[in-house]
Structure 1
């Protein structure tokens, strides 16, 4: 479920066509003409054919005799594919998509925290502490905060030591990146360090119920912060990105 790792021209063409499908430029059922793509993108037939093959493997397109290549229904897309999750974050936020991601996170992360509280190692705790330290760093910019937030949640899932759950980090990351992009778009953002610290403390204490409850509280705060940000408000407990007196910074 990893994102498509193609580099150079071929990777660019995959991203271009895939992005057009995800943003609705090419609608489900619409025919995609390879020869037109060759001329428009100024690439060879081989490059376009290989790009469409990659997109077909993700459920986005199909080819049939007499009908040609066409966009498949959204219900047949591999929506958990990392590339699709990334492409879907482009442009204006899709509120339904954000809501779906939030619901899935609410299922995955509390369960992961329960397991983490009983299975975490010192290395797992160290990874979470390192991420939290960046979140709490005075003057940390939005980019650093977002990346540290992602590291914290990845470390939490990794601490569950469940291989299949670990693969679901692509869903968590997609939800986090889009949420953080919106919430951290202004000069002020909400302070979520205490909520993250509560999760870490419960996991470190070996308290499964407490860890799950702390994650649920964190996710609740994240949803509230997103609603405030989408409405153009700073939200409760807002911090100024340039001067955080307490040393706390925000995340989701």
Structure 2
């Protein structure tokens, strides 16, 4: 098997194992072995070992000689890792993961907006204004579920977090992107997004552009409150994917 093919097989094994663990199909405390992985997926020891190594890097398993590969409690997982988030979103814990991500946003984005009002550079202020206007236009034309809307939304929130001037907040762009993508893929974004959410983006951009910390923070709180309600309304009905 050539290197490229080997890489593809490794990725497939990793995705399946990651989803099983994240979904509780393989529960905490369960013990796997490289031999079992090799046998089930008909892969080489190298492929099995590499998949386990990545899962171990994510904190999902612990590998010990003479013991095997033990699945860790969720408290040990790297919960901010994009792969871990995606795997939870693909499983029966989907709604819980969505709510956790919204709680993270509620804690972080108003603070980031407040900081950005005094720290954003000219390019970031201009980009946020442009992206907020683009979201408003796309939303008004019923394109809330389009790839263009999602791309603009991701770029807006990534720019906002970066504009905070706090490198730790900027690193939260990955988890925020995951929930924005999930909301679109799950059909939780209305074709015509709530005007309060669109107005919130405009207010964030305006507050940052004019150095008004209160307006920026309140705008973030407004769109998060609206989006949180959409996620809650989606409820456990989005919790039943196939594993």
Same fold at TM > 0.5: yes
Is the CA contact 1:60–1:77 (under 8 Å) kept in the aligned structure 2? yes
Equivalent pair of 2:95/2:236 in contact (CA under 8 Å): no
1:174 aligns with 2:178: yes
- TM-score (norm: length of structure 1): 0.80
Q: Partners of 1:7 and 1:205 in 2: how far apart? A: 49
Aligned pairs (5 A) from 1:79-158 = 79-92=79-92, 94-135=94-135, 136-137=137-138, 138-140=141-143, 142=145, 143-158=147-162
Does the 8 A contact of 2:119 with 2:164 survive in 1?
yes
Q: Closer, same or farther in 2 for the Cα pair 1:205/1:98, shift >3 Å?
A: same
Higher helix share: 2
Question: Structure 1 residues 79, 202: CA separation in 2 closer, same or farther (over 3 Å shift)?
Answer: same
User: 3-state DSSP class of the match of 1:62?
Assistant: strand
Quote the residue 1:224 is aligned against.
229
Q: Which consecutive residues of structure 1, in runs of 5 or more, have no partner in the other structure?
A: 1-5, 233-252
Structure 2 unaligned blocks of 5 or more:
1-5, 238-243
Task: Render the CA deviation track for 1:160-192: whole Å, top value 9, x for unaligned.
Answer: 121111012223223333334345466665343
Equivalent position of 1:53 in the other structure: 53
Residues 213-233 of structure 1, C-alpha deviation per residue, up to 9 Å, x if partnerless? 11111111111222344499x
TM-score scaled to structure 2, two decimals?
A: 0.83
3-state DSSP of counterpart to 1:69: strand
Q: Secondary structure at the match of 1:28?
A: coil
**1:139 Cα deviation from its structure 2 partner:** 4.8
Q: How many residues align?
A: 227
The aligned runs of 1:10-25 (5 Å cut-off) are 10-25=10-25
Partners of 1:131 and 1:73 in 2: CA distance:
40
| CA deviation after TM superposition for structure 1 residue 10, in Å | 2.3
Counterpart of 2:71 in structure 1 is 71
Corresponding residue for residue 241 of structure 2 = none
- Contact persistence 2:113–2:208 (CA under 8 A): yes
Considering only aligned residues, what root-mean-square deviation do their CA atoms show, in Å? 2.4
Once residues 32 and 231 of structure 1 are traced to their aligned partners in structure 2, the CA distance between those partners, rounded to angstroms, is: 30
Residues 186 and 124 of structure 1, relative CA distance in 2, 3 Å threshold: closer
Mapped contact 1:182–1:226 kept (Cα < 8 A): no
Question: Which of 33-42 and 66-75 deviates more?
Answer: 33-42
Tell me what 2:217 maps to. Answer: 212
Report the CA distance between 1:194 and its aligned residue: 1.8
Distance apart, 1:92 and its partner CA: 4.7
Q: Distance in 1 between matches of 2:40 and 2:236?
A: 39
